[in-house]
């Protein structure tokens, strides 16, 4: 009930103004916020700082967790082997919340607050597309591990590169010959009704026609859908192969309902493992997938013919034979994609060493050095396999794998050649100025 008097009010206001002035002064000094301090200059022994734009929260969190683990393992190995140009590598992690708005803010933070040398690690396409303009404006090399076609499409800029994971267009094109020759030529596609699904629809339709096949039905599932049975009667009887790329938490329901709909007499099934990354293939409800086929960028389950480099990589990232955490077998990894972080860090290392990178002023030299890369042979730096980097489109091409679910294990049935996934250049980023 006590009413404030005039006098204390004036004092409070004065104090508030003094506080405001003091805050402004503090801001001016650059010390009001954590991390606002600047490094004077990169010394020869100062760490190479790499900003890791991590999907720590949001829809990409499962990927973010494993991209983080792979990044840590790769940096540990690089540092144990002498770092980059004799300098240790330091990872600066910021959560982008799997949101493009936040992603752009994170890049700003990397460039102007943490003053990193390069940024890397983003998976989700909308975060890459939302962040890339800022990377170009901030002159910050931005190495993405996204598999989106956005880089090679020419939508982005010279500062954005995807040197270690193939894009969806290449993946899809390379799958068509196997599908047409081994599974069937009449394909029904079931895909989420947003950009990721549309990419599959468009690229695969064209690719299967080139193989003499056809897409007999295109069934788009709205992203808000939680049950799918009502869509299945739209699958034509003549269908020989169902191509599915459902993603998100409803994928288990999708598979279960598909199994209930078809029973034992189903067409061949071909899908992208994106649907089931971080999900145990032996989870209850997924029995229907036995005998079906999946694209994998890198085989999740250990294969009989694994190279020493692949075994070393598996051990380094802490995965067991089934691609789950050694410490917690219930924690299944995103094995088909996360190798991209390991390999991208090695490309950054190779690029910096080729460019004799000393600091941010050498960023254009770093990009030119990466653009000059072409054949990237399989090695411990690149355990996924041989690659061919296109410096003009900033996009890499690599071997892809098709695995069959056999007794609950993903067994590689076919590996494509690099050439299977190649297509005409859509951009030449090297013509853009820095």
What are the residues binding another protein (CB under 8 A)?
A: 4, 6, 8-9, 12-13, 16, 24, 27-28, 30, 33-36, 38, 56-57, 94-95, 99-101, 104-105, 108-109, 112-113, 125-126, 129-130, 132-134, 136-137, 148, 150, 155-157, 193-196, 198, 222-224
Q: Are strands 375-376 and 387-390 parallel, antiparallel or unpaired?
A: antiparallel
Identity of the residue, 90 or 105, whose beta carbon is nearer to another protein in the bound complex: 105
In angstroms, what is the minimal distance from the CB of 238 to another protein?
28
Smallest Cα–Cα separation from 373: which of 357, 397, 408? Answer: 397
Closer to another protein by CB, 104 or 298: give it: 104
CB of 152 to another protein, least distance (A): 14
| Burial label, 324 (beta-carbon count in 10 A; 0-12, 13-18, 19+) | buried
Q: Which is nearer to another protein, 12 or 417 (CB)?
A: 12
Q: Is 65 or 87 the residue whose CB approaches another protein more closely?
A: 65
What percent helix, strand, coil does the chain show, rounded to 5? 40, 20, 40
Asked if 53 and 107 count as a contact pair (C-beta separation under 8 A), the reply is yes
Q: Cβ 9 to another protein, closest distance in Å?
A: 3
Q: Which is nearer to another protein, 99 or 257 (CB)?
A: 99
Which 8-state DSSP code applies to residue 121?
A: -
Judging by DSSP bridges, how do beta strands 118-120 and 142-143 pair with one another?
parallel
Closest approach of another protein to the CB of residue 48, in Å: 20
Q: Is 294 helix (H, G, I), strand (E, B) or coil?
A: strand
Q: How far apart are CA 196 and CA 117, in angstroms?
A: 31
Residue 111 vs 175, nearer CB to another protein: 111
User: Based on CB atoms, which residue is closest to another protein, 103 or 299?
Assistant: 103
424 Cβ contact partners less than 8 Å away, ≥ 6 residues apart: none
CB of 277 to another protein, least distance (A): 18
Residues in contact with 108: Cβ distance below 8 Å, sequence separation at least 6, in sequence order = 134, 138
Q: Quote the strand ranges of 328-423, DSSP E.
A: 375-376, 387-390, 395-398, 401-406, 409-415
């Amino acid at each position: 009930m006590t009413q404030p008097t005039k006098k204390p009010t004036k004092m409070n206001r004065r104090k508030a103004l003094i506080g405001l002035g003091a805050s402004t002064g503090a801001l001016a000094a650059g010390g009001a916020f954590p991390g606002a301090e600047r490094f004077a200059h990169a010394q020869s022994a100062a760490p190479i700082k790499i900003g890791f734009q991590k999907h720590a929260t949001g829809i990409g969190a499962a990927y973010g967790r494993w991209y983080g683990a792979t990044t840590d393992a790769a940096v540990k190995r690089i540092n144990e082997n002498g770092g980059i140009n004799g300098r240790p590598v330091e990872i600066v992690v910021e959560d982008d919340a799997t949101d493009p708005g936040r992603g752009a803010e994170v890049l700003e933070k990397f460039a102007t607050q943490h003053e990193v040398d390069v940024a890397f690690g983003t998976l989700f396409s909308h975060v890459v597309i939302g962040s890339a303009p800022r990377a170009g404006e901030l002159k910050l090399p931005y190495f993405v591990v996204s598999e989106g076609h956005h880089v090679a499409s020419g939508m982005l800029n010279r500062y954005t590169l995807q040197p270690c994971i193939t894009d969806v267009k290449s993946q899809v094109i390379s799958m068509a010959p196997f599908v047409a020759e081994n599974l069937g030529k009449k394909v029904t596609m079931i895909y989420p009704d947003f950009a990721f699904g549309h990419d599959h629809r468009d690229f695969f339709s064209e690719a299967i026609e080139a193989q003499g096949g056809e897409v007999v039905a295109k069934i788009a599932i709205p992203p808000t859908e939680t049950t799918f049975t009502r869509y299945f009667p739209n699958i034509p009887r003549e269908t020989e192969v169902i191509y599915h790329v459902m993603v998100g938490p409803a994928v288990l329901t999708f598979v279960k309902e598909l199994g209930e709909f078809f029973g034992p007499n189903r067409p061949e099934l071909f899908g992208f493992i994106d649907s089931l990354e971080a999900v145990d293939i032996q989870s209850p409800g997924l029995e229907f997938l036995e005998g079906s086929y999946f694209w994998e960028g890198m085989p999740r389950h250990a294969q009989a013919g694994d190279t020493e480099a692949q075994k070393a990589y598996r051990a380094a990232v802490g995965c067991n034979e089934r691609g789950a955490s050694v410490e917690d077998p219930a924690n299944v990894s995103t094995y088909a994609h996360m190798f991209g972080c390991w390999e991208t860090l090695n490309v950054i290392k190779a690029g910096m060493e080729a460019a004799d990178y000393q600091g941010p002023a050498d960023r254009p030299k770093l990009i030119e050095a990466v653009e000059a890369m072409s054949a990237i042979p399989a090695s411990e730096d690149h355990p996924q396999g041989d690659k061919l980097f296109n410096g003009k489109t900033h996009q890499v091409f690599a071997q892809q794998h098709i695995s069959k679910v056999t007794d609950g294990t993903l067994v590689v049935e076919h590996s494509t050649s690099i050439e299977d996934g190649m297509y005409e250049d859509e951009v030449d980023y090297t013509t853009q100025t820095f």
